Amino acid sequence: MARKSKNVTKNKILAFFFVLLLFLMGYKFSAYEEIHTKPTNKTVITDGELQIYFLNVGQADSIFITNKGKNMLIDAGNNADGNLIVEFLKENNIEKIDYLIGTHPHEDHIGGLDDVIKEMNVENIFMPKKESNTKTFEDVLDAIKEKGKKIIAPKVGDIFSLGDASFEIMSIENDAEEANESSIVIEMTYGTQKFLFTGDMEVANEEKRSWNDIDVLKVAHHGSNTSSSAEFLYQTLPEIAVISVGKDNSYGHPHHEVLERLNDVQSEVYRTDLDGTILIISNGQKNEIQKLDIVCDGDI
Ligand SMILES: [Zn+2]
Ligand SMILES: [Zn+2]
């Protein structure tokens, strides 16, 4: 009997250590998982498709587009976002920006351009000739000068290629009185799909020309009601509309009238404040949408 009870005690001790071991293994395993599920800037950039990242830069714009190793960045967020955008690009092994677009000289569009110009190999820099007397604008000019680059102000109707995609300048007003109205507006075509990037263009710009039926619209001016008129939306009839906007911003963007107008033309709306970074992958026939946990907003 004595011997049996000793065995029971021994088994109990063994069982205790076994459970302890399982617990430790489990703990270790969950710690490992935690490390590997942390949000990361890294994403998979596959060849042969057009990928468009509407980066979450808060109340600002920054759109990265890549196809067949050719890269374009439309705007670079606020001043505080520049380094985070550079980090995102470098983590994804982007070495060269073939087209860097500063749509118009407002801080929420050109704020991070100086960091991108300093840190990356930038080929073409497109901006309207419209100037600004802000330090942000001066910083961009200094960075361009330091790199021995020149600003190109493209003309309406100019067409360029980005890998297998092409893009056309739809609007630019070098002598606009108001900076938003100087915005470079780009229509990109890939296969049968059309994408319209509008900067902060206003209704006055929308009324100056006719627009094609498009598939994806970057809603102008963060969803302000001074853009995206019913007339413009009935011409463009975007299936997908993306609004780049900051959480609880002081402008009340996106304005409810704009959301109603988008609803009237049955656009599927995505917002960086609610959905985070929005990735559109296009095969030229249809577009797939992903919401990514990439944050390039330096103001939070
Ligand atoms: Zn603006
Ligand atoms: Zn803006």
Q: What is the pLDDT of residue 9?
A: 65
State the chain's mean pLDDT as an integer: 91
Percentage of the chain with pLDDT > 70? 85
Give SS3 for 41: coil
Provide mean pLDDT across the span 50-66.
98
Give SS3 for 120: coil
Q: What is the pLDDT of residue 107?
A: 98
Q: HEC states along 255-290?
A: CHHHHHHHHHCCCEEEEHHHHCEEEEEECCCCEEEE
Confidence band, pLDDT 50/70/90 cuts, at residue 27: very low
Q: What Å distances lie between residue 111 and 52, 196, 298, CA to CA? A: 20, 22, 11
* C-alpha 68 to ligand 1 mean position (Å): 31
Counting ligands in written order, which one lies closest to the CA of residue 60?
2
- pLDDT, tens digit (0-9, with 9 covering 90-100), for 214-271: 999 999 999 999 999 999 999 999 999 999 999 999 999 999 999 999 999 999 999 9
Q: What is the pLDDT of residue 48?
A: 73
* C-alpha 10 to ligand 1 mean position (Å): 76
pTM: 0.86
* C-alpha 79 to ligand 2 mean position (Å): 13
Whether the predicted pLDDT of 293 surpasses 90: yes
Provide mean pLDDT across the span 267-283.
97
* C-alpha 211 to ligand 1 mean position (Å): 21
Long-range contacts of range 156-160, CB-CB < 8 Å, 24 or more positions apart?
Answer: 156/209, 160/99
Is residue 24 packed enough to be buried (19+ CB in 10 Å), middle (13-18) or exposed (0-12)?
exposed
Q: What is the pLDDT of residue 142?
A: 98
Give SS3 for 229: coil
Among 36-50, 73-87, 132-146, 170-184, whose mean pLDDT is lowest? 36-50
Whether the predicted pLDDT of 28 surpasses 50: no
Among 35-44, 169-178, 224-233, 247-256, whose mean pLDDT is lowest? 35-44
Q: What is the pLDDT of residue 4?
A: 53
Whether the predicted pLDDT of 190 surpasses 60: yes
Counting ligands in written order, which one lies closest to the CA of residue 218?
2
Q: Which residues have CB atoms below 5 A from the ion given as ligand 1?
A: 106, 180, 200
Q: Which residues have CB atoms below 5 A from the ion given as ligand 2?
A: 108, 200
Counting ligands in written order, which one lies closest to the CA of residue 78?
2
* C-alpha 109 to ligand 2 mean position (Å): 6
**137, 113 Cβ separation under 8 angstroms:** no
Whether the predicted pLDDT of 5 surpasses 80: no
- pLDDT, tens digit (0-9, with 9 covering 90-100), for 80-114: 999 999 999 999 999 999 999 999 999 999 999 99
